[in-house]
Amino acid sequence: MKTHVYRPLIVVLFIIAFILIARSLLVPKDFGVHERGYMYGWYRQGNVQEWSNSVKVKYQGADYCKECHSDKYESIMMTPHAIIECENCHGPAVEHPSEPPKLQIDRSRDQCLRCHYSLPYPTSGRANIRGVDPEEHNKDIECVSCHNPHKPSLEGLK
């Protein structure tokens, strides 16, 4: 082969070698290789403890709520709302049960309409959720004035 073929080939091989050497020098050894078997991830394994010390968890999960609110937990677990975490409606429990003694509950219509606004998408899971037209269904009052979200069925009407 003539030199006009070798020169670009050598340049390409040099660039590839440069990238591989730079990668081995710059990427930490514990980056992305973890128990799940991913080749690359978005964090270093050695960085996990640093993050757990500096980032405060806001959401506790339903098991945290169940300890003190077992009556509400058991009643909601028998309803379609069982798949929803308590904190979706009640807010993050990071400071609970300290101050304030009660979590702020968003009783606005918008809170309920996040899931119960009628959407005409038959192939989505939202089509299986009972929806309302907020302009026609008791538009001037909060949903919780008539409906008990811990018993979301026809029997759940107050």
Q: How far apart are CA 6 and CA 70, in angstroms?
A: 75
Question: What is this structure's pTM?
Answer: 0.54
Residue, of 15 and 63, whose pLDDT is higher: 15
* pLDDT mean across residues, the chain: 79
- The C-alpha R_g of the chain, in whole angstroms, comes to 27
Enumerate long-range contacts of 127-133, CB under 8 Å, 24 or more apart. 129/80
pLDDT at 28: 81
Portion of the chain with pLDDT greater than 70, in percent: 85
Q: How far apart are CA 35 and CA 41, in angstroms?
A: 11
Q: Is the pLDDT of residue 12 over 50?
A: yes
Candidates 143, 88, 157; CA nearest to 110 is: 143
Confidence class for position 37, pLDDT limits 50, 70, 90: low
pLDDT (mean) for 29-36? 69
Candidates 82, 98, 104; CA nearest to 151 is: 82
Q: Coil, strand, or helix at residue 157?
A: strand
Confidence class for position 65, pLDDT limits 50, 70, 90: confident
Which range (3-12, 13-22, 116-125, 141-150) has the least confidence?
Answer: 116-125
User: What tokens does 72 get?
Assistant: 């509400």
Confidence class for position 156, pLDDT limits 50, 70, 90: very low
Residue, of 101 and 65, whose pLDDT is higher: 65
Residue type for position 116: H
